[in-house]
């Protein structure tokens, strides 16, 4: 018997972004503890590889689509104890050059989809008078990082929404928890680099020097990265807790960032970010 099997007896969990990384690791760990799983991701072939060994229900499709969310809720068959809103991505680029379409898409995936999926399962949780809504945020939900301004904005918004929701649903013993990882060994950086704004890489771009440092920044971050399994362990621990914390910072980098953001002056934090992201000095740009 796994550690939390008795605690999770009869429970149903929905996990988005379940075909890889944190979502896949969380699905496997909850499945080992006897949870009935409803898993979502866009690509059915990759999702099936995760779902079939676990006996999970696979609901493929873009979670920003209301019809897909309706299929997810239908697959719950009248019960939902855990919602893990994990699907998300980052599109890098200075705030000035990311297109309106791309910025809105990040908000659709990272904010509106988890918010509306929470809306959809909350009637089930209220009827049960229990539930855990796990929002996979980021340390970027605490601070704004250059080159990831729009991504940071989505995570800041998700955290504000979750804080309000947590208070609103507390009378029904429903818990809303934010998971704030630092770097994780997933496909995140591969996806983000593939989505770099073309305007950022053009020689005439005022931000071309920023792009030159991207590979070095990635290497520095990945030296401090943890595994998806470590994040999944924290998620499952939060799901099992009768009184979970509102936020779980995961990885040493995330914990350090949260700590220094409370005590360092904003001017000093900005200086640290400029150094970390190789932001050029005034004399080095046109």
pLDDT digits (tens, 9 = 90+) for 141-184: 999 999 899 999 999 999 999 999 999 999 999 999 999 998 88
Residue ranges making up the domain that contains 268: 12-284
pLDDT of residue 259: 87
SS3 81: coil
Average pLDDT, integer, range 103-125: 98
**CB-based contact 85:91 (threshold 8 Å):** no
* Total domains present in the chain: 1
7 domain residue, yes or no? no
161 domain residue, yes or no? yes
Average pLDDT, integer, range 203-221: 74
6 domain residue, yes or no? no
Mean pLDDT value across the chain: 90
What is d(CA 156, CA 148) in angstroms, rounded to the nearest whole number? Answer: 12
1 domain residue, yes or no? no
17 domain residue, yes or no? yes
5 domain residue, yes or no? no
Instruction: List beta partners, residue 230.
Output: none
Q: Find how far residue 67's CA is from the centre of its chain.
A: 22
**CB-based contact 88:136 (threshold 8 Å):** yes
What values do phi and psi take at 130, rounded to 5?
Answer: -170, 160
Whole-model pTM: value is: 0.92
For the chain, the C-alpha Rg in angstroms (whole number) is: 19
Catalytic residue list? 151
Angle at 220 between CA 215 and CA 226, to 5 degrees: 115
CATH number of residue 43's parent domain = 3.40.50.720
254 domain residue, yes or no? yes
277 domain residue, yes or no? yes
Q: Find how far residue 128's CA is from the centre of its chain.
A: 26
Which tokens belong to 239? 């799901």
Residues 6+ apart with CB under 8 A from 196: 92, 93, 211, 214
pLDDT of residue 138: 94
């Amino acid at each position: 018997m796994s550690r939390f099997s008795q605690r999770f007896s009869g429970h149903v969990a929905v996990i988005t972004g379940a075909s890889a990384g944190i979502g896949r690791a969380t699905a496997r760990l909850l499945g080992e503890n006897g949870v009935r799983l409803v898993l979502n991701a866009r690509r059915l072939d990759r999702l099936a590889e995760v779902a079939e060994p676990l006996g999970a229900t696979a609901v493929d499709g873009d979670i920003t689509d209301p019809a897909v969310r309706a299929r997810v809720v239908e697959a719950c068959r009248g019960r939902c104890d855990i919602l893990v809103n994990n699907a998300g991505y980052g599109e890098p680029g200075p705030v000035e050059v990311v297109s309106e379409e791309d910025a809105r898409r990040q908000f659709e995936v990272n904010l509106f989809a988890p918010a509306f999926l929470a809306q959809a399962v909350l009637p089930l949780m209220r009827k049960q008078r229990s539930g855990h809504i796990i929002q996979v945020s980021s340390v970027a939900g605490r601070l704004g990082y250059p080159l990831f301004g729009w991504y940071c904005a989505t995570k800041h918004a998700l955290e504000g929404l979750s804080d309000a929701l947590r208070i609103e649903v507390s009378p029904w013993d429903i818990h809303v928890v934010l998971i704030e990882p630092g770097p994780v060994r997933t496909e995140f950086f591969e996806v983000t680099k593939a989505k770099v704004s073309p305007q950022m890489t053009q020689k005439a771009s005022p931000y071309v020097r920023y792009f030159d440092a991207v590979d070095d920044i990635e290497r520095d971050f990945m030296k401090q990265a943890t595994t998806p399994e470590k994040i999944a362990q924290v998620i499952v621990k939060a799901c099992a807790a009768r009184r979970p914390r509102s936020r779980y910072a995961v990885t040493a980098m995330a914990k350090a960032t949260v700590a220094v953001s409370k005590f360092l002056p904003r001017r000093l934090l900005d200086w640290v970010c400029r150094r970390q992201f190789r932001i050029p000095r005034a004399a080095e740009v046109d």
